[in-house]
Amino acid sequence: MGFLRRRLVTAALTANALRPPQGPRSGAYAFPAGLLTGELAPQLLGLTVADTVISVLRRKAGWPGLAVAAATSYGLVRLIRASRGVRVLVDDVVTHDLGEQLAAELDPVTPEELATPWHQLVTPFRRSDPRVRVDRDLRYSDAGGRGLLDIYRPADRELTNAPVLVQVHGGGWVLGSKNEQGIPLMNQLAAHGWVCVAANYRLAPRDPWPAQIIDVKRTLAWVKEHIADYGGDPSYVVITGGSAGGHLAALAALTPGDPTFQPGFEDADTSVRAAVPHYGVYDIAASSGLRSALWIRDNFFGPKVMKHTWQETPEVFEQASPLLRITPDAPDFLVIHGAGDSLVSVEQARVFVERLRAVSRNTVVYAELPGAQHAFDLFASIRSAHVVRAIERYLTWHHRHWQAGLVGQ
**Selection from 7, 13, 82 nearest residue 49 by Cα:** 7
Q: How far apart are the first and last CA of the chain?
A: 61
3-state class percentages of the chain: helix first, strand second, coil last, to nearest 5:
50, 15, 35
Taking the C-alpha atoms of residue 244 and residue 278, their distance in angstroms, rounded to an integer, is 9
Contact 292, 282 (CB under 8 A): no
Reference 252, options 219, 286, 295; nearest CA is 219
* Residue 105 CB coordination number (10 Å): 12
Can you give the pLDDT at residue 320? Answer: 98
* 62, 63, 69, 70 alpha-carbon torsion, rounded to 10°: 150
Query: Is 341 one of the catalytic residues?
Result: yes
Q: Enter the pTM of the model.
A: 0.94
Asked about 377 being catalytic, the answer comes back as no
Q: How many helices (H) and strands (E) in the chain?
A: 13, 8
Q: Concatenated DSSP letters for 122-134?
A: GSTT----TTEEE
pLDDT of 89 reads 79
Give the DSSP letter of residue 108: P
**Do residues 184 and 385 touch, judged by C-beta distance below 8 A?**
yes
Q: Tell me: the pLDDT tens digits for 63-108? A: 999 999 999 999 999 999 999 888 777 778 888 888 877 777 787 7
**Cα dist from 98 to 104, 109, 282, whole Å:** 9, 16, 22
Among 337, 374, 398, 399, the active-site one is 374
> Which one-letter DSSP state was computed for residue 144?
G
Please, how many CA atoms are within 13 Å of residue 189, restricted to the half-sphere of its CB? 32
pLDDT of residue 317: 97
Active-site residue (options: 243, 292, 342, 384): 243
pLDDT by 10s per residue, the chain, length 409:
699 999 999 999 999 999 998 777 788 889 999 999 999 999 999 999 999 999 999 988 899 999 999 999 999 999 999 998 887 777 788 888 888 777 777 877 777 766 777 777 888 888 889 999 999 999 999 877 899 999 999 999 999 999 999 999 999 999 999 999 999 999 999 999 999 999 999 999 999 999 999 999 999 999 999 999 999 999 999 999 999 999 999 999 999 999 999 999 999 999 999 999 999 999 999 999 999 899 999 999 999 999 999 999 999 999 999 999 999 999 999 999 999 999 999 999 999 999 999 999 999 999 999 989 999 999 889 999 999 998 998 999 999 999 988 887 6
pLDDT of residue 113: 66
Provide DSSP, 219-245: HHHHHHHHGGGGTEEEEEEEEEEETHH
Q: Give the separation between CA 212 and CA 224, rounded to whole angstroms.
A: 19
Active site residue 399: no
Examine residue 256 and say whether the peptide bond preceding it is cis (omega within 30 degrees of 0): no
The C-alpha atoms of residue 360 and residue 328 are separated, in whole angstroms, by: 4
What count of Cα atoms within 13 Å lies in the side-chain half-sphere of residue 213?
28
DSSP state of 368: E
Q: How far is CA 35 from CA 31, 41, 100, in A?
A: 6, 10, 35
Dump strand ranges (E) for 42-147.
132-139
**Which residue in 150, 207, 341, 377 is the catalytic one?**
341
**Residues sharing a CB contact under 8 Å with residue 226, sequence separation 6 or more, in sequence order:** none
